Structure 1
Amino acid sequence: MTHMDGGIAPLDGLHLLPLGGSEEIGMNLYLYGLDGKWLIVDLGITFGDESTPGIDVLMPDPSFIVERRKDLVGLVLTHAHEDHFGAIQYLWPRLKCPIYATPFTAALLRLKLAETDFAKKVKIIEVPLSGRQSIGPFDVEFVTVTHSVPEPNALVLRTPHGLVVHSGDWKLDPEPLVGEQTDERTLRRLGDEGVLALVCDSTNALEPGRSGSEGEVRRKLTEAIGGMRGRIAVTCFSTNVARIQTVAEAAHANGRQCALIGRSLWRVHEAAKQTGYLDLPEPFLTEAEAAHVPPDQIVMVCTGSQGEPRSALARIARDDHNHIVLEKGDTVIFSAREIPGNEKAIGRVQSNLARLEVEIITPDEAMVHVSGHPAREELTEFYQWLRPRISVPVHGTPKHLQAHARLADACQVPEIVIPHDGAIIRLEAGKAGIVDEIEVRRLALDGSKLIRLDNGVVKSRHRMNNEGVAVATLVLDRSGELLADPQISLIGLEDDGDEEDKKIALMDRIEDAVDNLSKAARKDDEAVREAARLAVRRTIRMAQGKKPMIDIQLVRID
């Protein structure tokens, strides 16, 4: 049964409720319920696309836990990626709970929150690497893993009902370059201790073999840059400090200077310096400084690997950047994988670069990227170490979750629960499963305001995009007589050469509709608007088969 208002019965025992991050990649928000108390793990965003016109950022609606805020004991962050902590700057005022994070994540969060008016109110509790923290009834241990950001953590939740491992994002990398390798020893110890449930990353559950190493990327990228002429731009995730360090090292090895182009890169640079994760051969140049370096002596790290329209690379590709230009003979290296859903946006940026006659290198052409998520061999090792009673695949589309479930079954996990957002999952040996569910919604950042994604604003934009807009202005006297021909504006409905004919037809239909009203109705503004609206709708539908947004403006003159 789906509860529209989150009005579920009180829960005893240990439960997991994903509000984001299941059956999708991004927007992670997981709630763990323990005998009436709740702990949030991660609070992330995803980015808008063509299906959300005018919307840049999406996030889960936290209403369920906001209604239970008195029972919320805290928010724990696994790592500093936008899809895991990017919603805090928008949603924390609704939650007002303490936040627990390791030093790098805490440093980057403080820098992000500095742009808000509530930064000083947020209680951020730093937990040391491999630290352990009591949070309400939860005993939480942080276990170091490897990912494409400093200080990723798996979380161990020790409860009276059993031990849960929440993997966060992770991989097995023998040469991560920045930070430590995944703590295999501790994970094996947890397996010996006995793991009730593993809630685990499914991003690469369809990929055979292993995910590859950052060390190999550094060697290949250094070699590739050595054979290039002209300016070189490398785009990657701004939080991938190992990759940023790699580009700096590769540039230096080839006698080039290195610059950071993009605001979020400088923010990560500051957090990495504060926590000791960058050891540069020489300081990065600013974008203004980079503009004056000869083309064959510069490498630029740019934001925009996912085609974000406001990113540095997108603006450069549109020839719309204040300082940086790219031209024939220059090269752009995409040192990041495409997140599902971003293909069109990335394609647009690459098309604009191609128009500039810039050479483009992607991971399909060269070894310039490795994933930060575990492929199937790594997942299998993880299961062999932890040997959980229950597997809950998360962080993936339904296809990824199903593949992960099959792998867990092959690893002889006794119980497997494939979740969806809103599913309330009992974590109990022999009785694991979905016991209830709530309706989940999405919030959207519309300019500076948070709105529900299912409200009329977004629906109206879809209709405007797909069906067009017709605006008619009518000027009448007090008795309802038209004093002038209706004025018509058509947006998204025009065809070259026939716009005037369409407008004349609409004017005639509107005049007929108003004339056919009774004298009393013509004095009623709403009756006139409705008659004109129906006339416009029927005329356009018959002529074009469209159902545009229609706006009737009415002016009365004495």
Structure 2
Amino acid sequence: MNAHDTTLEIIPLGGLGEFGMNCMVLRYGADIIVIDAGLMFSEVGHFGVDSMTPDFTFLERHREQVRAVLLTHSHEDHIGSLPFLLKKVNVPVYGTPYTLSIVEPRLEEHHLLATTQLHPVRAGETVEVGAFSVEYIRVSHSTVDCCALAITTPIGTVVHSGDFKFDATPVCGDAIDVERLRAVGRRGVLALLSDSTNIERPGQMPSERVVIPALEEIFDRATGRIFVSCFASSIHRIQIVFDLARQFGRQVVAVGRAMERNIEIAERTGFLDTADLLVSAKDFKHYEPGETVVLASGCQGEPMGAMWRIADRSHRQAWMEAGDTVVLSARQIPGNEKAISRLINRCYRNEVQVIDATQARIHVSGHGAQEDLRLMLEAVRPKYFIPIHGEYRQLYRHKLFACQTLGYSPDRVLLVESGDVVVLDGETARLGDKITINRVYIDDTCSLELDETLLRDRKRLAYEGVVIAGVAVEESSGMLLGPPEITTRGYLGVDGDEEEIAELRDVVLAAVEALPPAERINGGKEHFQEHLRLALKRHIMRVTGQKPTIVPLVVVV
């Protein structure tokens, strides 16, 4: 009997040792399920890369075994790479109604909606997928319709927490179903996979309602327009803004495609009550400053985001003026500090008041702090615990927390990263052979995957520049028809320097003369071009130590 027939494998393809690209694979026998398929936004130095997805090679290799993708909630780091996965492995997708409503337009953009089977699942329902029985359990988070998954297998139950906090009084939807988590725990849980994002924060994460007093005070003081910029997925926050708009007699204007779309979906699926306060952005100009509150996407200072264009006065329908108030009701994602600072500076140029989370309690995290994580562990009471969703330090500290605070034996807490394979047989857990995974880079302008070599070439062009050497030779004789042409771009100390260009021209000329005329023609153009490239490379490396991209061009006339 094959070992896969009697063991459960848990294989993270992303999201462990990094923030984003959350994707977890479970395999039992000939059946594979995938939990979430997220992306990670690009980092500094990723030239022309907008986002990154997990490496789905493992799933492609075992595509006949993949039964379904199960989504925990609608954030980009959990659903963003779904279209790229479905292009490789077309399987049914399960998720809550709101989550699937957010997924649908993304699939349509990739021409996948008509060929993808979407199965809505409500909290409390169970789906059967191959050897797995998966129950959706309501949890609280910063967006709505979020669930943990209780996955029953022939050798035991695995609980995947998704993103969560213990919010007993959410603004929208139902509270986390603690009693159901405890019932699953009493039945016996082989392993818990739990979010580690906020393990470094003590105490319990407050309810989404904690931001209401500060926002209410802002609405009470404001005389001009109020601009609230938050994540378009923050439906709880958006509902609070609508409630305050009603209380203070303002109309709500939504600006930004993501904001408009998410408000429409949340209202349609029953998670948002706009109370007929929503007006079109094209009617913005018809209202007095004290009559509106604008909900704008682009809270991270994105150059093409709605908030930036409003502050920059380049938005066609909305603008800000002296006396208005700007509220940045979101956390600063690491790496976005400079962009947000530029946005704030741009807002101040309009003589407005800017309020962010450093000045008032207008944001609260959707991820549980230490007390929330303790409550999850105590409710589920797993035999084995696997920290997920976080950089290595969060995973490590989550393990220490479980061992030092809750008395878990270190051998019962498995510290793993993306690509590791956890093998469970119902009694024991061990690490199997690691699989090789790489980041896959995406250019969002064309929704294409970028080759690692292409990215490396872009980096070299950015840091070292390019040298283009062109020569023309006569087809019949192989003789040069003129002096070599040298063009440089971004090559330090050479661009525009005639002496340096002349020196490079001499190097090319010497390399041409080193080849007999017959060999220039009969040896093939590729051979001739490589000969010129190597000559330039050696000279430049010897003289400057630089490694520009060298492009030799041979024209045979």
- Moved runs in structure 1, 4+ residues, more than 6 A? none
Q: 1:518 aligns with which of 516, 519, 530?
A: 516
TM-score normalized by structure 1?
0.91
Structure 2 counterpart of 1:529 = 529
**Whole-Å Cα distance in 2 between the matches of residues 116 and 333 of structure 1?**
34
Deviations 1:444-469 (A, max 9, x none): 2234253355x211111111111112
* 1:63 and 2:26 aligned: no
Structure 1 counterpart of 2:196 = 202
TM-fit CA distance, 1:314 = 4.0
Relative to structure 1, the CA distance from residue 545 to residue 322 in structure 2 (aligned partners, 3 Å threshold; closer, same or farther) is farther
Asked if structure 1 preserves the Cα contact closer than 8 Å seen for 2:285 and 2:318, the reply is yes
TM-fit CA distance, 1:223 = 1.2
Structure 2 counterpart of 1:460 = 457
Structure 2 gaps of 5+ residues are: none
Alignment of 1:489-528 (within 5 A): 489-493=487-491, 499-523=497-521, 524=523, 525-528=525-528
Q: 2:383 aligns with which of 382, 389, 398?
A: 389
Q: 1:115 aligns with which of 109, 117, 125?
A: 109
Q: 1:312 aligns with which of 279, 286, 306?
A: 306
Alignment of 1:169-180 (within 5 A): 169-180=163-174
Structure 1 gaps of 5+ residues are: 1-7
Q: 1:158 aligns with which of 146, 152, 165?
A: 152
TM-fit CA distance, 1:329 = 4.8
Asked if structure 1 preserves the Cα contact closer than 8 Å seen for 2:6 and 2:425, the reply is no
Alignment of 1:347-386 (within 5 A): 347-350=341-344, 352-353=346-347, 359-386=353-380
TM-fit CA distance, 1:315 = 4.0
State the SS of the aligned residue for 2:332: coil
Relative to structure 1, the CA distance from residue 463 to residue 374 in structure 2 (aligned partners, 3 Å threshold; closer, same or farther) is same
Moved more, 338-347 or 469-478: 338-347
**Whole-Å Cα distance in 1 between the matches of residues 500 and 314 of structure 2?**
38
Asked if structure 2 preserves the Cα contact closer than 8 Å seen for 1:390 and 1:427, the reply is no
Moved more, 331-340 or 363-372: 331-340
Asked if structure 1 preserves the Cα contact closer than 8 Å seen for 2:419 and 2:435, the reply is yes
Relative to structure 1, the CA distance from residue 295 to residue 475 in structure 2 (aligned partners, 3 Å threshold; closer, same or farther) is farther
**Whole-Å Cα distance in 1 between the matches of residues 352 and 526 of structure 2?**
57
* 1:471 and 2:468 aligned: yes
Asked if structure 2 preserves the Cα contact closer than 8 Å seen for 1:12 and 1:36, the reply is no
State the SS of the aligned residue for 1:367: coil
Structure 2 counterpart of 1:426 = 423
**Whole-Å Cα distance in 1 between the matches of residues 263 and 298 of structure 2?**
16
State the SS of the aligned residue for 2:189: coil
Asked if structure 2 preserves the Cα contact closer than 8 Å seen for 1:20 and 1:29, the reply is yes
Kindly report the root-mean-square deviation, in angstroms, between the aligned alpha carbons of the 2 structures: 2.6
Relative to structure 1, the CA distance from residue 315 to residue 56 in structure 2 (aligned partners, 3 Å threshold; closer, same or farther) is farther
TM-fit CA distance, 1:307 = 4.0
State the SS of the aligned residue for 2:209: helix
* 1:241 and 2:239 aligned: no
Relative to structure 1, the CA distance from residue 545 to residue 292 in structure 2 (aligned partners, 3 Å threshold; closer, same or farther) is farther
Structure 2 counterpart of 1:413 = 408
Asked if structure 1 preserves the Cα contact closer than 8 Å seen for 2:494 and 2:500, the reply is no
Moved more, 370-379 or 152-161: 152-161
* 1:435 and 2:432 aligned: yes
Deviations 1:366-393 (A, max 9, x none): 2111000000111112222222111100
State the SS of the aligned residue for 2:185: helix
Relative to structure 1, the CA distance from residue 325 to residue 430 in structure 2 (aligned partners, 3 Å threshold; closer, same or farther) is same
Structure 2 counterpart of 1:285 = 279
State the SS of the aligned residue for 1:389: strand
State the SS of the aligned residue for 1:117: coil
Structure 2 counterpart of 1:3 = none
Asked if structure 1 preserves the Cα contact closer than 8 Å seen for 2:466 and 2:488, the reply is yes
Deviations 1:269-328 (A, max 9, x none): 222122111111334233333355444443222222334444323444555433334465
